[in-house]
Amino acid sequence: MLSDTEMHVAQALRQAKRVTVLSGAGISAESGLPTFRDPLTGYWSKFRPEDLATPIAFRRNPELVWRWYCERRAAARAAKPNPGHLAITKLQSIVPAVTIVTQNVDGLHQSASSTNVIELHGSIHATRCFDRDHVMELNPEEDSPDRHPACPLCGSLARPGVVWFGEMLPEEALARSISAANECDVMLVVGTSGIVQPAASLGSRALSHGAVVAVVNPDPRSVMTGGVFLEGPAGSMLPRLIDAAWPDSK
């Protein structure tokens, strides 16, 4: 039995022409990937993510940072999309326009065959040089913590194509995300808090023009002022919503 709030969101989805999904670390955690809030383990337990994911950290010890990201890339490649990712892909097959704005860098939305994915924080599978941002090709078979490649154009060391602490979000991705928030009929905020940036500002934009904003999260502290809150993991809540909105699609 669905709650009244769940039915409200399901009805809004059924009537929507444009839906924006804003996803964060919580949905990837359901696929076994740790979040930045989780303590590091093993060799990395003596570090904080903030000590490894900054330009200053890379300048200080590029080999250490590269090794950490090699392990993170390997984990992302091994991870599989969960029912939450697959439900979003299904939503894209039903609603005319669904834009995914993700704060995640793991590529799991694409692995679930989703399209129109805006990667606000970049991609861990992309590589560019540190000094001049030249795009570099990194063969997964050659991705090793013992081999830190250099840019063939300028000789600068490779870095992951992600947004580090202290760096600006990519302008084009941010502009597209704002447009998606401004134009949607429904926004689903999935696996990220509705009170931190950029979720808060994008959610506020959607609310300001009358969109239904639903926060899907197992943490009740993630509620967004003006939005509705659906307590539960994405892997169970999103399939429930879509099955309720389109019962014939089961």
Active site residues: 121
Q: Helices (DSSP H) in the chain: which residue ranges?
A: 4-15, 25-29, 49-52, 55-60, 62-78, 83-94, 108-111, 171-183, 199-208, 234-245
Hey, which residues does 157 pair with through a beta bridge? 150
Place of tokens 């799991």: 108
Helix axes 234-245, 4-15, angle to 10 degrees: 60
Other Cβ atoms less than 10 A from the Cβ of 131: the count is: 12
Place of tokens 């999309």: 81
Hey, which residues does 61 pair with through a beta bridge? none
